[in-house]
Amino acid sequence: MGTTTLWTISHGELLLRMVLAVLFGGAVGMEREWNNHAAGFRTHILVCLGSATIMLLSIYGFSEYVNEPNVRIDPARLAAQVISGIGFLGAGAILRNGSVISGLTTAASVWVVAAIGLCVGAGFLFAAFYTTMLVLISLFVLNKWEKYLMRHRRNHELTIKALDNPGVLGKLASAFGEQGIQIVNVKMVSESDSSQESREKPTLQLRFSLKVQNPTKFIAAMERINTMDFVLWMESDGKLLVFPHQHGVEHAN
């Protein structure tokens, strides 16, 4: 009788665990959604709910075969496949733009949400709750703390698209130097594709790695560069900063 009870679950308990999976996954997903990441509210809910459902299936879905002499029940088998398989979904959230890699935290949050779902499905509810709380603390509190501690150590990645005029690099370097911003590395890429023929002047992309001590001075440098008529647009750490001059040229969004 005890063995049969161990491998069965009531409909109420089943529904409770699935609802908890939605709540825990949604709590983590809301933080990602709030910060406009690729995997957001609904994605985290689906991952957590799916993991919980697979765990429930693994434990209780084959209960009718428990008493069969030639059948061995292993509740951890499907759970192990979830942990390895969720990596493919997480990899889809990782993006690379030049030397800037983003989405690693989102990929990690998807992976840990799958673990939360497995805990909920297995009835390990306190572990699921504590993990959810710790994840939220990590995403909200530790994120701000990390940015504060590392504000002077991380290099800013800045891409500037400009007309290929003489002295472009020197003028940009002067704008940074005036604000005490150190250029760690710079890469110049000249654009020469088929669409270049329709432009009045050739263009190039300058990719800077900058050491910024004071964010205010970085903004001042951006404002100075914004006044330069040869600058078409600027992008910092994957975000478009400014689109100051058209020069009669159409640019794709």
- Distances, alpha carbon 177 to alpha carbons 12, 98, 205, in Å: 67, 24, 20
Measured CA to CA, the distance from residue 173 to residue 225 in angstroms comes to 10
Measured CA to CA, the distance from residue 51 to residue 253 in angstroms comes to 38
Identify whether 144 is part of a domain: yes
Residues 66 and 172 in one domain: no
Residues 26 and 98 in one domain: yes
User: Does residue 175 contact residue 169 with C-beta atoms inside 8 Å?
Assistant: no
Domain boundary among 98, 118, 148: 148
Measured CA to CA, the distance from residue 249 to residue 82 in angstroms comes to 50
Assign 231 to helix, strand or coil: strand
Residue 178 has pLDDT above 80, yes or no: yes
Mean per-residue pLDDT, 115-140: 89
What local confidence, expressed as pLDDT, does residue 132 receive? 92
What local confidence, expressed as pLDDT, does residue 38 receive? 64
Residue 1 has pLDDT above 50, yes or no: no
* Predicted confidence (pLDDT) per residue in 138-171, tens digit: 887 776 776 666 555 567 788 888 888 888 888 8
Residues 129 and 34 in one domain: yes
Mean per-residue pLDDT, 175-194: 78
* Predicted confidence (pLDDT) per residue in 90-103, tens digit: 777 666 555 555 67
* Predicted confidence (pLDDT) per residue in 33-80, tens digit: 777 666 678 888 888 998 998 888 888 876 666 666 776 777 777 888
Residues 137 and 168 in one domain: no
Residues 24 and 106 in one domain: yes
117 pLDDT tier (thresholds 50, 70, 90): very high
Identify whether 192 is part of a domain: yes
What local confidence, expressed as pLDDT, does residue 22 receive? 92
Residues 163 and 141 in one domain: no
CATH classification of the domain holding 177: 3.30.70.260
Domain boundary among 148, 165, 181: 148
Residues 104 and 52 in one domain: yes
Task: Give exposure, 78-104, as e/b (b: 16+ Cβ within 10 Å).
Answer: bbeebeeebeebbeebeeeeeebeebe
Measured CA to CA, the distance from residue 24 to residue 44 in angstroms comes to 9
Q: 64-73, 93-102, 125-134, 233-242 — which one is most confidently predicted on average?
A: 125-134
**Structural domain boundaries enclosing 231:** 155-242
Measured CA to CA, the distance from residue 204 to residue 202 in angstroms comes to 7
Residue 249 has pLDDT above 50, yes or no: no
Note every long-range contact of 145-152, with CB atoms under 8 Å and residues 24 or more positions apart, other chains counting.
151/215, 152/213
What's the total number of domains in the chain?
Answer: 2
Residues 98 and 221 in one domain: no
Structure tokens at 145: 């703390």
Mean per-residue pLDDT, 184-207: 70
The mean of the pLDDT values for the chain is 77
Residue 120 has pLDDT above 60, yes or no: yes
